[in-house]
Amino acid sequence: MVTISPQRAMARHVPLWFALAIFASAFLMFLLEPMIAKMFLPHLGGGPVVWNTCLVFFQLTLLAGYAFAHGADRLLGTRAHALLYSLIVLAAALQLPFVVAEPAAGNAGPSVGWLLAALAGAIGLPFFVLATTTSSLQKWFARTGHHSAHDPYFLYAGSNAGNQGGIEADAIPTHGRSHSLNLTLPPLGAVILKLARHE
């Protein structure tokens, strides 16, 4: 009977733990975006400016998260980057549970600047943590010494599954059809995976 050492067994599961963390991060990101936007609607209405401003906020925060993951790793190294990331996670946890600000009474209508500031105050740091998680974890996995570490991009499968899960968790139908994403995303994912195998 072949026995496997605890170290080898742990090494075998390393990609799974990274993929699960990336899945959870992506799931929460795609769950939070519409949830937060909808929490502002009773105060601001459902006009395009509200949705567009929320979209701009989330995209800018996502870009900042990617920039942080890239810059912190290059400037600080893996250990210091992980420590700084942990401190930011703790600071983000202090911002929870998030509270949506209400516009001042008698205001003619909140500005785009007000909404951006309110979004930052409500969910800015927690969303930033989620935005930087996938890129940070991929960089850290690439330095684990695991036999798959030379090509960590397969971990995007966890991210894609998390994105789909977050979308599915939202009850709003897409383009008026509740199953449109179910019909379009899986074939697209299969095509991308097939292309990746041939590279």
Q: Mean pLDDT, to the nearest integer, of 80-98?
A: 85
- Within 10 Å of residue 144's Cβ, how many Cβ atoms? 15
Q: Is the pLDDT of residue 86 over 90?
A: no
- Evaluate whether residue 6 is within a structural domain: no
Q: List pLDDT tens digits, range 35-63.
A: 888 888 877 877 788 888 888 999 999 99
Q: 4 in a domain, yes or no?
A: no
The residue with tokens 């072949």 is: 2
In a domain, 7, yes or no: no
Arithmetic mean of pLDDT over the chain: 75
**CATH classification of the domain holding 55:** 1.20.1250
Residue 1 covered by a domain: no
CA–CA separation, 158 and 87 (whole Å): 24
Domain annotation covers residue 2 = no
Determine, yes or no, domain membership for 150: yes
* Residue 27 domain flag: yes
pLDDT score recorded for residue 57:
94
Q: Judge whether 8 lies within some domain.
A: no
Question: What's the confidence (pLDDT) of residue 107?
Answer: 56
Pick the range with the lowest mean pLDDT from 41-45, 118-122, 129-133, 147-151: 147-151
User: What pTM value is reported for the model?
Assistant: 0.73
- R_g of the chain, CA atoms, integer Å: 20
Q: Which domain holds residue 131?
A: 14-198
Number of domains in the chain: 1
**Which one has a higher pLDDT value, 194 or 67?**
67
Assess whether pLDDT exceeds 50 at residue 199: no
On the question of pLDDT at 141 being above 70, the answer is: yes
